[in-house]
Structure 1
């Protein structure tokens, strides 16, 4: 099973402060990636709700979508989008055998492209490439 590496402690703290249902969905998706099940339950439609209530004993999870960020951030970068009462994004790289790298996370505040957020993720992606070259990781 791959490790999960947060680029810095701030990222883990941000995720810890998200609503419970969003946190659980992020963790679910990361465990699926760790287990080499990259698509988890993408095709299922979950109710959009941040409450902790159960409906018919089924937990309410916000839907999640994944997409490549190759053009915006870097070759192997992916974005996990979670739509709840707000939208949340997690930028990660799961391509490498040693770890899943969580580069950035943010709560989307406006419509359109989050240029500042993608700039941060892009910078961290370049730092990740440099780190892997220096460590001679394949």
Structure 2
């Protein structure tokens, strides 16, 4: 069941649209070409970008519905969303090349951080990068050690 924002530990809430737009703007600001930014219930990649021959495929989730302002997803819903997000990226692993980065993007709130941190070593083993969007829309990337060099060279971390 959705819950009121003031009944959670969340300091802010963000929709999937807002996450998509923040990540796309971050990548564009770093010089990437944005091929797609999904809005509302569009099917396919949430954010698809290219930069210096590398492709970025990003699956995003928010902490509230796109048409809500104060009602956020409860912890059970967030867990289902994180599971679906990771499952979607696992399916993309079959199609990925050495020049493709797969990533998940989320609002940087403690309840989602905990869910992702619980499986972060597995995400690292799979080579998945994490985009964390702050309340102001700034983006921080966390990535496996094996991806760090390329992402530094691209100016993303």
Question: TM-score if structure 1 supplies the norm length?
Answer: 0.34
Question: TM-score if structure 2 supplies the norm length?
Answer: 0.31
